[in-house]
Chain A
Amino acid sequence: MNAIRVLAAPEPALPNVQSFGHDPLWITIIKAVAIFVFLLLSVMYGVWMERKLISRMQHRYGPNRAGKFGLLQSIADALKMGFKEDLYPSKVDRFLYAIAPVILVVPAFMAFSVIPFGPTVSMFGEQTPLQLTDLPIAVLFVLAMASIGVYGIVLAGWSSRSPYAVLGGLRSSAQVVSYEIAMGLSFVGVFLFAGTLSTSEIVAKQASGGTWEVLGLSIPMPSWYVVMLIPSFLIYAITMLGETNRVPFDLPEGEGELVGGYQTEYSSSLKFALIQMGEYVNVFVVSAVSITLFFGGWRAPWPISLWEGANVGYWPLLWFFIKLVLVFGGFIWVRASMPRIRYDQLMAFGWKVLIPLNLAWIMLVATVRAFRIEGADRTALFTIAALVVVGCLVLFFRFDTVLQRRRETRAEELKQEFELLEEQPAAGGHPVPPLDLPHYHGADRKEISSGIH
């Protein structure tokens, strides 16, 4: 039968949920401080790398004055923000205005605590996994933290009491929650294969794909989920841009229409620095999640993995870091190549394309997966598979014809309007406003109708 057989026995040091929660407190503190410092440095040099890379893509030099290759540019920027005036505009809700950046930045850091960096190692004589902690619901925890981060955005916009900030905050939060659904759905395929939500176990499951024996041949299965679940990964790649408000989905910072979005009133001080830091840490969180769920986590890629020492000790930190830099480089590449998309297109894409596609793909994966279960009822399965395919086709044709009909109606309307205009040219003239409209002279003065003076 089509049995899945694990190629090699798992290595002794492969952590799972049971390996966590036994560390002494000082080891926990060391690991937490290490992650914290790693993230601070990542934000600094992430900003540097982004500016440098995007400059090169646009035929510029980028920062090259502060330090060699501009390496100290981020430190200079942070110092400058620290010595700027800490401004509280007169209308703002002072408490919420101050606390919003904190709400934005803390969950972003917390989400990193379940990201696996490596296998069990010996740290100062203690055996401990290179991961702060793991939960039976680790991926759900990351999603929860992303949801709490939305509060920071909403409150930042709401407490600013400025039309740009309020609209930017609302837009941004609507976009983030919409893309979060597609993001959550794109994980389901991974859970179907892994059978767990714990990040360390998902990485362990990608150690070896096993072999699939069909017709007497044993076909080795690829071990990274990105190979088997490429549609899930593509959807995730799109949603992680939407979730972190990056180009081409950086609507909140659509400076042509909303100035700075929810951060308009946070004019350059440490509060602004915190917001920026929260956004960058969020980018690193979604990148790290994509590595953990789709790119084999800290495990070495194929040619390196032939070396036995590749997946033991502290080496996996290096593989993880290289993967993180590559995924982050992808973000920058997208930013250099894509224009910003319009808000209604963004929402329509998230709700009308990503979600149905995702659901159809999940049901397809689940049906194929059900064939692998021993002793499954084949007739029932074929019926379900046929139903799923027919359902997808019906959905596709239904909406295709709806769009077709809408296009035809629109063309018909335009034609009628054109004919009307040809008959009576005055019907399509510009609307002329009445001459005695009241003028608006600001908040403090009374409204004066223009007829008086």
Chain B
Amino acid sequence: MELYVPILVLAVLAAGFAIFSLTIAPFTGPKRWNRAKLDAYECGIEPTPQPVGGGRFPLKYMITAMLFIVFDIEIIFLYPWAVAFDALGVFGLIEMLLFIVTVLVAYAYVWRRKGLDWD
């Protein structure tokens, strides 16, 4: 646990600095009210109305996030194998090859169904 204490110290420093900047910002700057200034910036035209709680967004991004999870988990399996490679030897290599082939089947499916294409 002592290994993580220095990280916390650095995090407290960084967070302290960031929150300090946020809190002093309203006091150092001027305040001049202007309705147009408080609108969302859309190059000068009237802003598009946004529903309360945020608008909709293309489903494409969610698919990307899901694919990211699949491959991120693959990476998490690859790391311990790489670290213990010399101990696992040829057996580990064959197992990892089979695992990667399994993931590649899903990968080829996604590619075929145009899950990796943008428009």
Contacts and interface: CB of A to CB of B under 8 A. Distances in A.
Chain B's interface: helix, strand, loop or mixed, by majority?
A: helix
A36 B10 contact: yes
Contacts of B67: 351
Given A98-B22, A105-B18, A384-B93, A348 B118 contact: yes
Contacts of B10: 32, 35-36, 109-110, 112-113, 132
B23 to A, nearest CB: 9
A28 B6 contact: yes
A384 B97 contact: yes
Interface stretch (A80-88, A310-318, A320-328, A424-432): A80-88
A83 B29 contact: yes
Name the interface size band of chain A.
35 or more
Report whether over half of chain A's contact residues are helix, strand or loop; otherwise say mixed. helix
A177 B61 CA distance: 11
A387 B97 contact: yes
5 contacts: A21-B5, A35-B10, A167-B57, A348-B116, A384-B93
Given A86-B29, A347-B64, A348-B117, 17 more contacts: A28-B6, A35-B10, A82-B28, A101-B18, A133-B6, A158-B54, A161-B40, A162-B41, A174-B65, A191-B85, A195-B83, A195-B86, A259-B41, A265-B41, A359-B104, A377-B90, A381-B90
Interface of B: 2-7, 9-11, 13-15, 17-19, 21-22, 24-26, 28-32, 37-43, 45-50, 54-55, 57-58, 60-61, 64-65, 67-68, 71-72, 75, 78-79, 82-86, 89-90, 93-94, 96-97, 100-101, 104, 107, 111, 116-119
Interface of A: 17, 20-23, 25, 28-29, 31-33, 35-36, 82-91, 98, 101-102, 105-106, 109-110, 112-114, 132-135, 140-141, 158, 160-167, 170, 173-174, 177-178, 180-181, 184-185, 187-189, 191-192, 195-197, 259, 264-265, 267, 269-271, 273-274, 343-344, 347-348, 351-352, 355-356, 359, 362-363, 366-367, 369-370, 373, 376-377, 380-381, 384, 387-388, 391, 441-444
